[in-house]
Every structure is written in structure tokens, then in C-alpha cells.
Structure 1
Amino acid sequence: MRVGLAFWSLLCWSLLVPSAQATELVRVLLFQDVQRVDLSAGEGMTVRLSSGDERAFETPLIVTSLADGMVVNGERLQTEGVTVRGRQDLRVAVEGQIEAQRPDRPAERAAVFLRPLSQGATASPGPAPVPQATEPTGTMVVSGTLHVLRRGQGLMVINAVDLEEYVKGVVPSEVSSSWHQEALKVQAVAARTYALYQQMINAGRDYHLVSSIQDQVYRGRHGVDPRVQQAVEDTRGIVVTHLNAPILAAFSSTAAGQTEDAVNVWSKDLPYLKGVECPFDTNSPYYQWWTSFKIVDLETNLRQKGMAVGSIANVSPLSYSRAGRVATVRILHSNGELILRGEDLRRVVGYAVIPSTQFELEAVGPELVLSGYGSGHAVGLCQWGAKELAELGYHFPAILQYYFPGTELKDARLLESVSLSTP
């Protein structure tokens, strides 16, 4: 990666940016399996039923689910869903997630992050000074419209929002708005590209994306400030492409040395998601960590996932990826042997417990103790690496094309309709 690349990428991009503006909507799942939804807006709301009928309601609006419809402000309606529009931003709050519908989540004892090395100082235990991306709480303020759908025993809340407004909600939820402006632009382009990719492959579903780390964190209008708005406007419409289509623009917090090949994480062998050197994120508060968990808890979690394991006798890394991460682990137990992918071990134990697959492991009494580096799957863009490169003077096109090799930056509004193929 050379300084000249940053200049030429910026120059070429400046010749491509069109002045026309277009509207693209994405559907984002905010909440699901809830029993009550409270909606409010500054100047009243219009509610459209699934039959197409429209009604005007004063705020606040309270929606609950029935076996054969919904109750809206005390009125029983024969409808599978309602679409709510407000003249101003909408505030949505939910209550009563149905316990049986919650995904299995192990009891998590989060990893301890170590303070980054500074001028040769020894790393010491301590809380990370900057929070990682956090999932939405039970209350959000959003632009666009809200779809409240009856699904199963509960309600699902989906935000249909303009793509650029969506990106404004993702950027400050994923990184700090105080970061260098070029780093904010990098995050904006990555978020926009990821959203369009998911829009294409999920076109037939109720929603394109979820608002959590399952896709990318979106908290509506929360945290949207002038710096975020400027970064999004400065990159309006820009996406990372391969073969004239938006890519799977994966990103994670801290690669800690080298990014990972997608094939080792998701079994997707994508040419633009190959690992690259990443020595730029050593100042990340998530660079180094330590964690432990009880072996009996691992047994319980594996059984909850349908794996017939007995009493575990030994857990050890079996193979490593090209980037040096644990690709597979061998678990010896009283019923035999289980080979588990490193990423699956993270999923079973908890992503907050095992921040990455770049770790060493040993048994200490009844516990497994792991010490490792990095945070996240490490595929594609490294957020803290992008921050450092921006501070070194690189512009957003060069940073993105470094982490996504073989790609081009284009304006999504100029792309022809393409048939997206995924492995």
C-alpha cells in the first residue's frame, strides 16, 4: 500500500461522483417476538392496515397482538400488520419479549481486554476505554416508516428507511463519531455496500437486515451528529463493487496482525475477502485479551446446540488458518471426539467471552483459560486499522481497496441491474 495509491484513488473517485440523487429503501428488523409496541410522533400518525385501509391516529399508538389480528389503541382490527407513518421521526418502544422465542444464549462472562502497548510498556489488565458496537435497546427513534407485523405468538417491528438515513444510523453505532473524517467515510461506504448486498439476497423476505451485530448495528437517530452526516453525504451512493455488483462488505473491530479469509469463517471463497496484512490496529483497546470459562458450561452449551457430548476430557486447537487463527478445535469427551470450527466455538461459548479465534488455550482445573488477540471475525475491513490509516493520511478509497483487494468503488445509482450470485 503506497501513499500514491491514496492520491490516485481519490482523484479517480472525484471524476465518478454524480450530482443526481435517488432514494433507495432498506427494510431493517428492529425487534421481534415482542408482545407490545408503543409508537409516537410529534404530529400524529397515519396507519395503513394490511387490507390497504388507512386510518389517522393521535399519538401515542399502542399495538398488541391477537390470535386473529391486532389491538390498536384498544380497537380490535382484523389485520396481519400495520404500517405507520409520521410527519416527524417515529419513536418506538417495545415490551414483553416472549421468553420461548429468545435464541439460546449461554451465560456470558465477558473477556477482559488488556490495555494496548504504549512505547514498550507492558500490557496490563483493565477495562477497554471505548465501547464496542452495542445492540439496540428497547427504545429507538427512527426516520421512515414502521411495519408492525404479527408473526407467531408475537410482533415484529421493521423500519423501512432511506438507505442514506440508514447509513447515518449505522456509522455512530459501529465506530466513534470522533474518529478521523476519512475513517467515518470508510465506515459509511462499507455500511452502505453491506446493506445493498443484503437487500439483493433478501429481497423476498420481510426484512433485508437486522439491527444487531448479526448484520451491522443500527440504532436509528441515536448518535447521528454533524460529522456523521457529513461523512455520509460526502460518500452518498458510493459502494464497493466486484464484477459490477456490491460486495459482501464484511468488517470487524480489530484484526490484530492479519485479516482472515472468508472461507475460513463462512465457507464463502470470495476473491475480495482474502486476508491482508494489518499491522495498523495495535492501539485498539481490543487488541489483546484474556478470558476463561467452565468446562461444564461448555458441555451444557454444546448439548443445547444438539451435540451429544459427554464429559469433556480435553480441548485443543487442531488446525490453524493462513492468518494464524484457530480454524478447528478437537474436543475429546466420554462419548468420543468432536471437531468444531473455531468460529463455532465462539458462537457456542459466546462472542463476548471469546472475542476472536486468534488465541492460545489451556486447561486450569475446571476451567479453560484463553489468551488472545483481536476482536471479531477479522474478515474484510478492520475498523481500528482503518482509523489508523486515516490518521496517517490515506483517503477512504485507498483504505477500502486495501482491505477489499480487487474491488472498485462505484456509485450505486449508476450500476446496471445485476444478478447477484453467491457461493
Structure 2
Amino acid sequence: MYEKENSLISNYSSIIVGYALQDFIVADGEVCGAIKNKPLQADNIRVIIKTSGFRDIFFNEAVFCADSGMIVETGEESYETAPGETVVFNPDTEDFNEGRIKLIPKSGEIQFQSVNRGIGTPSYGGTIEVSLYDEGIVVVNEVGIEDYLKKVVPSEMPSGFNLEALKCQAVCARSYAYTELSNNYYSAYGAHIDDSIQFQVYNNSQRAESTDTAVDETAGQVLSYNGEVVKTYYYSTSCGSTTDVTLWGNTTENYPYFVAECVGGVDRGLTLTVESEFNTFIKGENEADYDYDCTLYRWSMEESVKEISEGFARSTGNNVGNITDIEVLERVNGGAAVKVKVTGDKGETVIDSESAIRAAFGNANVDMNTKSGTTKYANLPSTFCVFEKVTEGKKLTGFKITGGGYGHGIGMSQNAANKMAESMTYAQILEFFYRGTTLTLISSQDNA
């Protein structure tokens, strides 16, 4: 793979599916190289549609219809369906002998009747491609990025949020999508991303006028740093502090725009990597924190020794017996725990990642106390938390977990952005959460 501008040789995986950015070199009837001669101007995105519950990318059967009817392209042939006519594909469908099958609505959108989402049966603009693999049928929706965002923003942020917050979400979602285009995660299936939380949730909630407006009024805008588009991580709720990419084992030098800082309240003067000081922080509250009124700004749960031990073994596959101690060995900037030592009467082990810690100690059968009542979570909402022993006399009966926030804590807190939007513009909010970045137009690479 040759880059025309600088003649660098790179791996074929740098070819972005769905875009004709290169000319291919053919010898003896086979492709043997490529010359990339065009810059990426992102306009469309190719999204794998997962099964109901976002469980898998492979379908046993795929059923479609369109109110206007569809054009079905199979190889060099095509045919039309009547308005509302259903088309069914399964592994025995003969049209798969010609390769991928493409569905084009005559107008409007195509309903995918094999999937159930929060909105019920979803429909998709753009085109649908249906392909057969050994594991099953894969469905890819190719759609314009701006139209894609109009179904992402309401699926990722409540449409009733303030417009400036929704604009933040639109810019973040666009920036994230743009960076994922070139990552080639699903290139083997002719797609860029899927429609689940693994990337960005797409078409799970109804489009709304407010979120459409947010996308339209920020059209083409992304966040960039030193000329490169930023992967704009975001999450639901902060505990009054953000963290940085050291949470995931990276370095702040690689991602200087993610910083650990106070989210709204006055700096408490605490070093949150120190256990005792973080303990003071997480057990206190500050009304000046932007997330203060949110349900999961602070939360706590108490698990018996039996509940936490069985849940830990089930989640981790590591049976240490009855747990006798839980010790946080390491916190990163902002206070999130990333390494926890668990001791039981049959052994001990260390859990050393944010996602593993959240999975190991959550319990869907135990009440969690929040600012608006009780709920249940299979995973801990965050690792901004402390673990304390609960005793009766000298007997250990369980553990209390006290924490705050919902999500990883890197980048923008969506609930904080909504509060900030009462007095700040979306540009100011984005600058707060992504330090040193610039609003840029993708099409022109000029500052917006």
C-alpha cells in the first residue's frame, strides 16, 4: 500500500472500506498492491446491525420491507418489490450465490423486521447490504454520516436535554465516528462499526426535532488536536472529578486533551490517588459539582460475604472462597481504582482493569442506594469507589461499596454538560472537557 504524497509503504489494512481512495495495481489478474491517492472526506458510514439486545452480528434469518417498495440488487441482476412487500433471506437463499445483496428503498426507509430495539421495529435510511458468512447472515447499513448522527444523538443523550448539550453530543458523536472510519474494526465484513455501545448506540431511540437541530447546527464539525480528529470519549455522570487515559493503561502524553479535574465544584485540595484522601472525597458531596443533582452522583451498596463472594466467582471465574478483604492497590488521576487485591479463605487474586473491577463487584440482586432511591446494577456504575468491611462485633458479615458517577470518567460527562448548558455554549463546554482541542470543519479543515 503506497501513500502517493510521501511514498510510505503501509499494510493493506489501511484501505478504508466503502471509500474509493486508492487505485489498485493488478498483475496476472490479481490485485498485488494499491496506491492511495485521495484524502478521506467522510460522508458515508457503514454500520453492522446487531441482533436484538445487541448480542451478535450474525442472523439466522433477515426480514425486510419498505412502505414504498425496494430495489433488490443481486450481482448484475435486480428486481423490485411492491410497497409493503416482505423479503426474507436465510442461508439457503439462492441470491447469495451472486455475493452481497443490496436493498435500496424507492423512497423513505427500510424496516428490518428481524430486530427489536427500544423504538420497536427499527427502520434505516440509506441502503442495506445483506451478506452470507459461515457463521450466518450479516446486515450492513450504509448511510450518510449526518443522517447516522440523527439516530445516534437521541440514542446516546436524552432529547430533552438543553440544546447546547445536544450540540456537544453531536460534535462528540461525529468526531468519534470519523476516527472509527479508519480503524477498520469490521473491515472483514465490509463495515466500519456496529450499532451497539461498543461504538455508539444507533437507532435505539426515536429521532427528535431537538437532536436533529443539534446535528444540523453543528454540521461537519469535529474536535481536532494538532490537526488530528480526536476520539471524543464521553460517559453519563461524573462524581465531581474526571480521570484521564491512565485509567486504560495509556499515557497522558499520547492524549493530552483528556485531563483529570474537578467538574464544577471548588477544588478540594485533595490528592485523589491517595486512598485516605479519596475516601474523604467520595463520602462527601459538593453542591457546586455540575452532576450534583444526578441520580448516580453518589451511590452505595452493601453485599453480604456470601453475595459478594459468589458474585465475584461468577463474574471472574476465580473462586477465592469467602472474601475476607478487598484492598485498592492503585488509583489513577482523579481517583478511579484500577487495581484491586481480593483475599479469600481459599486464596487471593488481583483485578487490574477498570472494566473487570466493575464487573467483579456489581450484583443485580442487591439494592443500590442512589440520590433518587434504590436500583440494581449487574456492574458497578464506576470505579470511583471505596470498599469497607461490615462487621457485627468481631465477625465480618459483608462489604459496603461507596462510589460516585456512572461510566469510565474520561472526557465529557453528559449530565454535567446539560447543567453547564444553562450558562455556557457548546464550544465552551467542549473546551472544558477536551482541553486544547479546536472545533474544525471536516470538509475544509478550517476552524469552525
Find the aligned partners of 1:352 and 1:413 in 2 and give their Cα distance: 43
User: When the two structures are superposed, what TM-score results if normalisation uses the length of structure 2?
Assistant: 0.70
Q: Which moved more, 1:208-217 or 1:370-379?
A: 208-217
- Give the C-alpha shift of residue 139 in structure 1: 2.8
Determine if the alignment matches structure 1 residue 30 to structure 2 residue 15: no
Match of 2:180 in 1: 198
Q: Which moved more, 1:245-254 or 1:322-331?
A: 322-331
Select 1:214's aligned residue among 182, 198, 216: 198
Match of 1:163 in 2: 145
Residues 357-415 of structure 1 deviation map (CA, whole Å, 9 limit, x = unaligned): 111224557765422110001110111111111112x1111111110001111001113
Match of 2:212 in 1: 229
Aligned residues of 2:308 and 2:361 also touching (Cα < 8 A):
no
Give the number of the structure whose alpha-carbon radius of gyration is greater.
2
Select 1:39's aligned residue among 64, 79, 88: 64
Find the aligned partners of 2:120 and 2:249 in 1 and give their Cα distance: 30
Match of 1:298 in 2: 312
Find the aligned partners of 1:79 and 1:287 in 2 and give their Cα distance: 54
User: When the two structures are superposed, what TM-score results if normalisation uses the length of structure 1?
Assistant: 0.74
Call closer, same or farther: CA 1:367–1:295 in 2, change over 3 Å.
Answer: farther
Match of 1:354 in 2: 380
Residues 143-177 of structure 1 deviation map (CA, whole Å, 9 limit, x = unaligned): 11112222333222221111001111111111121
Q: For 1:204-353, list aligned pairs within 5 A.
A: 204-205=187-188, 206-219=190-203, 222-265=205-248, 267=250, 269=252, 270-279=255-264, 280-291=290-301, 292=303, 294-303=308-317, 309-311=319-321, 313=323, 314-333=325-344, 334-348=346-360, 352-353=378-379
- Give the C-alpha shift of residue 215 in structure 1: 1.6
Call closer, same or farther: CA 1:52–1:138 in 2, change over 3 Å.
Answer: farther
Aligned residues of 1:275 and 1:380 also touching (Cα < 8 A):
no
Call closer, same or farther: CA 1:95–1:253 in 2, change over 3 Å.
Answer: closer
Q: For 1:376-395, list aligned pairs within 5 A.
A: 376-392=407-423, 394-395=424-425
Determine if the alignment matches structure 1 residue 188 to structure 2 residue 170: yes
Match of 2:427 in 1: 397
Find the aligned partners of 2:121 and 2:384 in 1 and give their Cα distance: 35
Aligned residues of 2:330 and 2:339 also touching (Cα < 8 A):
yes
Call closer, same or farther: CA 1:77–1:248 in 2, change over 3 Å.
Answer: closer
Q: Give the root-mean-square deviation of aligned CA atoms.
A: 2.6
Find the aligned partners of 1:172 and 1:263 in 2 and give their Cα distance: 30
Q: Which moved more, 1:330-339 or 1:359-368?
A: 359-368
Select 2:80's aligned residue among 36, 56, 60: 56
- Give the C-alpha shift of residue 77 in structure 1: 4.0
SS, match of residue 421 in structure 2: helix
Match of 2:157 in 1: 175
SS, match of residue 158 in structure 1: strand
Runs (4+) of structure 1 exceeding 6 A deviation are: none
- Identity across the alignment (%): 25
Match of 2:281 in 1: none
Q: Which moved more, 1:39-48 or 1:396-405?
A: 39-48
**Across the two proteins, how many residue pairs are aligned to each other?**
344
Q: Which has the higher contact order (CA 8 A, sep 6+)?
A: 1
Aligned residues of 2:61 and 2:88 also touching (Cα < 8 A):
yes
Letter in 1 for 2:425: H
Find the aligned partners of 1:226 and 1:234 in 2 and give their Cα distance: 12
Aligned residues of 1:273 and 1:405 also touching (Cα < 8 A):
yes
Aligned residues of 2:119 and 2:206 also touching (Cα < 8 A):
no
Residues 179-231 of structure 1 deviation map (CA, whole Å, 9 limit, x = unaligned): 111111111111111100111222745322222221221116x4212221111
- Give the C-alpha shift of residue 138 in structure 1: 6.9
SS, match of residue 203 in structure 2: coil
Determine if the alignment matches structure 1 residue 151 to structure 2 residue 133: yes
Find the aligned partners of 2:85 and 2:293 in 1 and give their Cα distance: 46
